[in-house]
Amino acid sequence: MTGLRLIHGAAALTAAGSLAVTLGTGLTDRGIALAFGVLIAVGELNRWSDSQARQAAPLAAAGSLAYALLGADAGRPTAHRAAQVVTVVLVAAVLGAVPHIWCGRTPTLDHLARRVLTVGFAAVCFQPLYDQGLFTSWAGPGYALLLIALLTLTGLCDAVLAAALAHARTRWPFGPLLREQLRGLLGIGSAVGATGAVMALAVAVVGLWALPVFCLPLLLTQLSVRRYAAVRATYRQTIASLARATEIAGCTPAGHARRVAALGLAVGRDLGMAEGELTVLEYAALMHDIGQLSLVDPVPAGATAGLPPEEQRRIALLGGAVVRQTGVDAAVAVVVERQADPCRDQPLAARIVRAVNAYEEKSRDAGPEGPLRALEELRLAAAGDYAPEVVESLGRVLARPRGWREIAPARDDGRRTALSDPVRGWVTHG
């Protein structure tokens, strides 16, 4: 947790210093500060509480960046400093978060720390140089390119902070987390940055009336993303319901598929799989036993790891056929079908499902020493039946204090969405 303390400490020092400077010098351009403060507060009020959102408050993020990069108001140079930018953003974000706190949806310190540090970074890079007149000769396209360059650097800074915070909280590998954050910059991140730059340029020309005009496209985009996420959540719930069919039919013990999915995702993250690959892994792990529904004689306790290889492959192929009929992504069916193949011929997701399923079956109801013995059996069989890198990753995951027992994030109504969504307690973007 050292990295977490460092980031929170840096944000606290930045916020405290900015507040002290602003209180000492007074608030300049109060009308502009009020307009952007209201915009940021409204954006926080409209914050999306669903944890799977990469950008939970895009309007607030865009408004914060626009204020940090604002140099003029309707042709008149502004006089606010970087410390005032951080102060206004922080106060507006806290005020906008009050209704969420009242409803029990408390924003994390990670979100506030990232907002303070990224906005402070952008303001420090822009405001002192603008006040010294270094950007006076930059006009037209040159000035716009300058803002884009600063926004790119700010986005990279935010991506590093997000990955570092996620790594500190979850202990997932930093590299894959950073790659996911950088991919996010090409999606909603680029939309937020572009809106922030356009807001700053528009206010510099036509004044504060430009703010509501340029907020509308981002609000419509956020509405569309919410609808897409709602459809995606429904899709995941349908898959989870299909996965429970084996439990309802008595083919597998209750909770087996979910435990395999949770542990498999932890192993996948430890091995550096991307978010798209993790989603396929999650779906395949949830549905890996669905082929048992086609059996005339059920497998005792649903334990397929001890069956002959030919019988395991037959059940896997039956399961893949069922998955294909459900309309789920074909990549999920491939993983289900190949989970019983020789490990050297399997894709990584199939190797993980096979090893984790075997561990769960061997350790289930085996007493206090069961998990240790099950892991040792997998290590002894790693030369042929199970991939050595997957078994070693499984051992690392099980050795962690919280390990794989991170549960799926809950929606506001208490329902779970998906195991591959980020763990509640940190946000991935914004």
* For residue 163, pLDDT beyond 60: yes
Q: What is the pLDDT of residue 402?
A: 56
Residue 205, number of CB atoms within 10 A of its CB: 11
Q: Residue 311 maps to which CATH number? A: 1.10.3210.10
| Whether residues 218 and 259 fall in one domain | no
Total domains in the fold of the chain = 2
Output the average pLDDT for the chain: 83
- Whether 278 and 268 have beta carbons less than 8 Å apart is answered as yes
| Whether residues 76 and 108 fall in one domain | yes
Read off φ and ψ for residue 135, nearest 5 degrees.
-100, 10
Provide mean pLDDT across the span 182-198: 84
Between 41 and 132, the higher pLDDT residue = 41
| Whether residues 296 and 341 fall in one domain | yes
Tens-digit pLDDT profile for residues 272-315: 888 889 999 999 999 998 988 888 777 887 788 888 888 889 99
Domain limits at 276? 244-399
Tens-digit pLDDT profile for residues 21-68: 999 999 999 999 999 999 999 888 877 655 444 556 888 899 999 999
| Whether residues 282 and 183 fall in one domain | no
Q: Does residue 407 lie in a domain region?
A: no
Tens-digit pLDDT profile for residues 350-390: 999 999 999 998 888 767 777 888 888 888 876 678 888 99
- Whether 33 and 80 have beta carbons less than 8 Å apart is answered as yes
Name the token pair of 23. 């209180």
Q: Does residue 291 lie in a domain region?
A: yes
In this structure, the chain runs to a length of 430
- Pick the closest to residue 61 from 238, 193, 156, 205 (CA basis): 193
* For residue 1, pLDDT beyond 90: no
Tens-digit pLDDT profile for residues 229-267: 788 888 888 888 888 888 888 888 888 999 999 999 999
